[in-house]
A and B are shown apart, each in its own frame.
Chain A
Amino acid sequence: MLLPKDLYYTENHEWIFVEGKKGTIGVTEHAQKEMGDIVFVELPEIGDNFEQFDSFAVIESVKAVSDVYLPVGGKVIAINQDILEQPELVNDEPIESGWLVEIEISNLDELESLMDDEAYAHYLEEGK
Chain B
Amino acid sequence: MKRTPLFNVHKELGARLIDFGGWEMPVQYTSIIEEHQTVRKQCGLFDVSHMGEIYFSGGDALKNLNYLITNDISQIAVGQVVYTPLCNHHGGVLDDLLVYRLGENEFLLVVNASNIEKDYQWIKEHVNGEITVKDLSSDFGQLALQGPESEKVLNKLTDIKLADMKYYRFSRGKLAGEDVLLSRTGYTGEIGFEIYLSPAKLEEIWHEIIDAGLGYGIKPIGLGARDTLRLEKGFCLYGNELSEGVNPWQAGLSWTVKLNKRDFIGKDALLESRQGYNRVLRGFKVIDRGIPRKGYKVSKDKKEVGIVTSGSYSPSLKENIGLAYLEKDVAGTGSELDIIIREKPVKALVVEKPFL
CB within 8 Å of B: which residues of A? 36-37, 39-40, 42, 58, 60-63, 65, 84
Are B313 and A39 touching (Cβ within 8 A)? Answer: yes
Are A37 and B290 touching (Cβ within 8 A)? Answer: no
Are A84 and B27 touching (Cβ within 8 A)? Answer: no
Asked if B199 is at the interface (CB within 8 A of a chain A CB), the reply is no
Are A62 and B290 touching (Cβ within 8 A)? Answer: no
Are A60 and B31 touching (Cβ within 8 A)? Answer: no
Contacts of A39 in B (CB 8 A): 33, 291, 313
The proximity string for B residues 33-55 relative to A, scoring 1 for CB distances below 8 Å and 0 otherwise, is 11000000000000000000000
Given contact pairs A39-B313, A40-B313, A58-B342, A65 touches B293 in the complex (Cβ within 8 A): yes
Interface of A is mostly: strand
Q: Quick one: which of A37, A42, A58, A65 contacts B32, CB cutoff 8 A?
A: A37
29 interchain pairs (CB within 8 A)?
A: A36-B16, A36-B28, A37-B31, A37-B32, A37-B33, A37-B34, A39-B33, A39-B291, A39-B313, A40-B289, A40-B290, A40-B291, A40-B313, A40-B320, A42-B289, A42-B290, A42-B342, A60-B291, A60-B313, A61-B32, A62-B32, A62-B33, A62-B224, A62-B313, A62-B315, A63-B32, A65-B291, A65-B293, A84-B289
Interface of B is mostly: mixed
Q: In whole Å, how far is A29's beta carbon from the nearest beta carbon of chain B?
A: 15
Q: In whole Å, how far is B152's beta carbon from the nearest beta carbon of chain A?
A: 28
Contacts of B16 in A (CB 8 A): 36
Size range of the chain B interface in the assembly: 10 to 19
Contacts of B250 in A (CB 8 A): none
Give the distance in Å from the alpha carbon of A65 to the alpha carbon of B28 in the complex: 17
Q: In whole Å, how far is B331's beta carbon from the nearest beta carbon of chain A?
A: 26
Q: In whole Å, how far is B292's beta carbon from the nearest beta carbon of chain A?
A: 11
Contacts of B315 in A (CB 8 A): 62
Give the distance in Å from the alpha carbon of A37 to the alpha carbon of B312 in the complex: 12
Contacts of A62 in B (CB 8 A): 32-33, 224, 228, 312-313, 315
Give the distance in Å from the alpha carbon of A100 to the alpha carbon of B263 in the complex: 61
Q: In whole Å, how far is A79's beta carbon from the nearest beta carbon of chain B?
A: 14
Give the distance in Å from the alpha carbon of A71 to the alpha carbon of B194 in the complex: 49
Question: Which residue of chain B has the shortest Cβ distance to A41 in the bound complex?
Answer: B289
Given contact pairs A36-B31, A37-B32, A40-B313, A63 touches B291 in the complex (Cβ within 8 A): no
Question: Which residue of chain B has the shortest Cβ distance to A85 in the bound complex?
Answer: B289
Contacts of A42 in B (CB 8 A): 289-290, 342
Give the distance in Å from the alpha carbon of A87 to the alpha carbon of B139 in the complex: 44
Interface centre among A42, A60, A62, A65 (most CB of B within 10 A): A62
Q: Which residues of B (10-37) have their CB < 8 Å from a CB of A?
A: 16, 27-28, 31-34
Q: Rank and list the top 10 A-B pairs by shortest CB-CB distance, nearest first.
A: A39-B313, A62-B32, A37-B33, A40-B291, A60-B291, A37-B31, A37-B32, A63-B224, A62-B313, A36-B32
